[in-house]
Every structure is written in structure tokens, then in C-alpha cells.
Amino acid sequence: MKSLLIAVKDAKIHLKDRKAILMMILMPILLTLILGSALKGVMGGGSMPETILGVYSPESNLMTKSIMKSLGENGLTITIEHAESEKQLMDWMEERAVHVGLLFPDGWGSGVEGNRAVIIPISGQETGATVIRRMIETVAQMSQAIENSTATVMAEAATLAAEDDINLEEIQNELTASIEQIVNEQRAYVIEPPKEESVSSMQYYAAAMAAMFLLFNAMAGGKSFHQERRSETLSRLMMTPASVRSILTGKFIGSFLFAWIQFLIFLGATRLLLKVDWGPSILQILFITFFYIFSVAGLAMVVAAFTTNEKMADVIGSMGVQVLALLGGSMLPLSLFPEIMRKIAMATPNSWALTSFISIMEGAPWSTLWLPAAVLLGIGVTAIFISSLRLGRRIA
């Protein structure tokens, strides 16, 4: 009960602070609106950017040559790189040396059902892949129309020539009907491997801002501890029957409680005002948020434990939040980072929260959430253990 009273007291102080309300609640909503609207191109929206197309074809035929010529002369910013093997093309894509991969099978364009090329974009290049696919479909259909029409004309002409009775009107009708049939036929020449529906820029930055601004509780919690030391509030608490453990527990619960209030307001505002779809299961969102806030509240105690005054807590907390936000994908999508940076991001708690939010928005099952929940729980427990030892000695 003593810990809860201290926690409620801390939460009330935060809620009465106008600067804290502006920073913790209104700012993330505003940034979500700005970034989600302005950076659609980063998430694969907008006009087609400069695109490097990697192509592998085991054989060369007239249709593939026509396709390559058409793509090279389309007036768009498409650069074509020819791979020597399918493995080389896959290596290029893994290294992000090309933006879109195009695989032609043996005998492509022969009209055999199911004999389709495969187009694979890397993350963030879906627009380029869509444009290239539509161009291939158009050229392939026209090529098939010309080929079938020519065959029809030649067959009809040969038959009529043998009978010495050539009817040009009949040939023209046959040719017109053949062209119309092929051009209007909705045949698929290129397929994309099935994939989960990606999130929009507004969804991504809603999750990113939630993860980043919850981190600011670490800074606020550290500053709160030093403010109470400076104002002698902590000393007066020590004169009460409350133990050191009760005081530390109350400070932790206070940070935890305020972070929950912050997140619930942000969640409601983004759903109602910005129409952000947080996925099919709000319960999954709250589940991951619980463990993330637990880890953030632990980090708040670490800031308090390893800083000596309010100014130092402000500087270290602000720098720490910015570094974690940058590494964790809150500034730019993690898919744009090189491989080494994506591995480093796994050491940040906000990265685990952000990727979990995105997965939930895409319809991830519960089984995929146990690992990030365990990691976030581990971060929180470790932070609480280390900071409690140090703060316990300093308060005593």
C-alpha cells in the first residue's frame, strides 16, 4: 500500500506537468501524423524511384529480348543487370545490390500454362516491381497477339492458296478476331511469391513513435528521483515508516503507471483521429506493451541510479533515447538499414517492441510474441536488479 501511494503520487506529479503532457502525449501524435504522411515513399508508396533490375534467364528467345529492350527504353529510371545464375541473382538481392529480381524459366513465353516468370522486390521497392510487372504483362500479351495472328494468317493463306481461292475479307476477319482474343485475354506471365500484407507508413510510424516516446519515461523517471532529492521530498519519505524497498518499488510503479496512461491515450488518439489500424488483436498490442513498459520502467531506475543530479539525468537520458530510437528503427524503417545495423538493433528494447507491433498489425499469431516478451522481461528484471542495489545504498 505504501508503494502504491508513492506510485500514485509520482503519476499525479507527471500528469500535472504541462511540459510532460506536451512531450509525452501530444508530440508523438503530431510526429506520427507528419512522418506517416510525408514519408510514404520510404514505405514503398509514391512514384517509382530509380530502380536496379537484376535479371536471370537460362535461355534467350525473342520474347525475353523484346521485354529487356522495352524495359531499357521505357523512359523510366530502370537499370538492368544480367546475372550469370539464379544463385548470383539471389546473392545480389541479399546484398541489396539490386532492387528487384526477375527470374525467367525455361521456355518462358511459349504459352505453356504455369510457365511464369517470378519477380521479387526487396523491402521498400514494391512500387518499382509493380511498374515492371505491368510493363512485362503488356509487352508479353502484345507479343503473343502478334505471334498468334501471324500463325493464323499464314495457315489461312496456305489453305486458300492451295485451293486457288483466296478470300481477303475472310483472312482479315480471322486476323482481327485472333488479335482481339489474345489482347483481351487476362493471362498471367509474371507472379510474385505470396507474402504477408505490409503495413502503411502511418501504421509504421504510429508504432515507432509509441516505442520512442515511451522511452522518454526513462529520462523522466531519472529526473524525478533527483528532483525529489533536491526538494528534500525523498528525505521526508525516509522519515516515514516506509522502507527503502517500498520507496523504490513505488518509484518503479509510478513510472510504469504513467507510461500506461501515456500509451493508452496515444493508442486511442491514433485509432480515432488518425485512423491507424493496430491489427486484429488489441489484446496482443497490450500484451507486448506491458512487457515493454516493464523494461522501460526498469531503465528509468537505471538512469536514476547512475546519474548524480537532475541535469546529468536529463543529458544522459536524452542522448540515450535518441541513440536507441535511431538504432531501433523509430527514425527510419529497419528494412533500410544494412545487415550489421539490423543485428545491433536487436540489443535495443524499442526495436523488439516496434517489430512486435508491426507483426501484430500484419496478423502475427501469439506464438511469435513469446520471444520478444521474454527479451523485454529480461531487460526489465536486469535493470531493476542492478539499479536497486545501487539506489538502495545511496538512499540508505
Task: Indicate which CATH number applies to the domain containing 81.
Answer: 3.40.190
Residue after which a domain boundary falls, among 166, 191, 216: 191
C-alpha cell of residue 96 = 541489396
Instruction: Report the share of the chain in percent with pLDDT over 90.
Output: 10
Edge to edge, what strands does the sheet with 51-56 contain?
78-82, 51-56, 100-103, 117-121, 190-191
- Whether 363 and 309 share a structural domain: yes
143 vs 99, residue with greater confidence:
99
- Whether 285 and 385 share a structural domain: yes
| Phi, psi values for residue 321, rounded to 5° | -65, -45
Query: Average pLDDT in the 190-195 region?
Result: 58
- Strand partners for 54: 81, 101
pLDDT band of residue 182 (cuts 50, 70, 90) is: low
What's the pLDDT score for residue 45?
47
- Strand partners for 80: 53
Q: Which domain holds residue 166?
A: 44-191
- Whether 308 and 229 share a structural domain: yes
Asked if residues 140 and 182 have their Cβ atoms less than 8 Å apart, the reply is no
- Strand partners for 51: 78
pLDDT band of residue 285 (cuts 50, 70, 90) is: very high
pLDDT band of residue 375 (cuts 50, 70, 90) is: very high
What's the pLDDT score for residue 322?
81
Q: How far apart are CA 298 and CA 291, in angstroms?
A: 11
Q: How far apart are CA 393 and CA 387, in angstroms?
A: 10
| Among the ranges given (41-45, 182-186, 309-313, 324-328), the one the predictor scored with the smallest mean pLDDT | 41-45
Query: Average pLDDT in the 328-357 region?
Result: 83
Compute CA distances 394 → 15, 134, 197, 316, 330, whole Å. Answer: 27, 67, 51, 19, 35
- Whether 372 and 227 share a structural domain: yes
- Whether 129 and 74 share a structural domain: yes
| Among the ranges given (32-46, 232-246, 258-272, 357-371), the one the predictor scored with the smallest mean pLDDT | 232-246
What's the pLDDT score for residue 356?
93
**Helices and strands in the chain, H and E counts:** 15, 5
What's the pLDDT score for residue 21?
62
- Whether 32 and 151 share a structural domain: no
Query: Average pLDDT in the 176-185 region?
Result: 59
Residue 238 has pLDDT above 80, yes or no: no
What's the pLDDT score for residue 46?
46
- Whether 316 and 347 share a structural domain: yes
What's the pLDDT score for residue 41?
52
Residue 265 has pLDDT above 80, yes or no: yes
- Whether 235 and 265 share a structural domain: yes
Q: How far apart are CA 143 and CA 190, in angstroms?
A: 15
Query: Average pLDDT in the 158-163 region?
Result: 61
200 vs 276, residue with greater confidence:
276
- 3-class secondary structure, 188: coil
What end-to-end distance do the CA atoms of the chain give, in Å? Answer: 21
Residue after which a domain boundary falls, among 161, 191, 221: 191
Cα angle value 267/356/358 (rounded, 5°)? 70
Q: Enumerate residues 6+ apart whose C-beta is below 8 A from 46.
A: 40, 127
What's the pLDDT score for residue 25?
67
- Whether 49 and 116 share a structural domain: yes
| Among the ranges given (191-200, 235-244, 295-304), the one the predictor scored with the smallest mean pLDDT | 235-244
Q: How far apart are CA 372 and CA 236, in angstroms?
A: 40
Instruction: Report the share of the chain in percent with pLDDT over 70.
Output: 58
213-223 burial code (b ≥16 CB/10 A, e <16): bbbbbbbbbbb
Residue 8 has pLDDT above 70, yes or no: no
Greatest CA separation for the chain:
119
Residue 157 has pLDDT above 70, yes or no: no
pLDDT band of residue 357 (cuts 50, 70, 90) is: very high
Residue after which a domain boundary falls, among 191, 225, 255: 191
Residue 29 has pLDDT above 70, yes or no: yes
Query: Average pLDDT in the 291-297 region?
Result: 89
Asked if residues 137 and 189 have their Cβ atoms less than 8 Å apart, the reply is yes
Predicted TM-score (pTM) of the model is: 0.60
Q: Enumerate residues 6+ apart whose C-beta is below 8 A from 307.
A: 222, 226, 313, 316
- Whether 17 and 70 share a structural domain: no
- Whether 240 and 292 share a structural domain: yes
Q: How far apart are CA 104 and CA 20, in angstroms?
A: 57
pLDDT band of residue 278 (cuts 50, 70, 90) is: very high
379 vs 304, residue with greater confidence:
379
- Whether 75 and 210 share a structural domain: no
What's the pLDDT score for residue 70?
65
What's the pLDDT score for residue 299?
85
Domain count of the fold of the chain: 2
State the average pLDDT for the chain: 74
Residue 47 has pLDDT above 50, yes or no: no
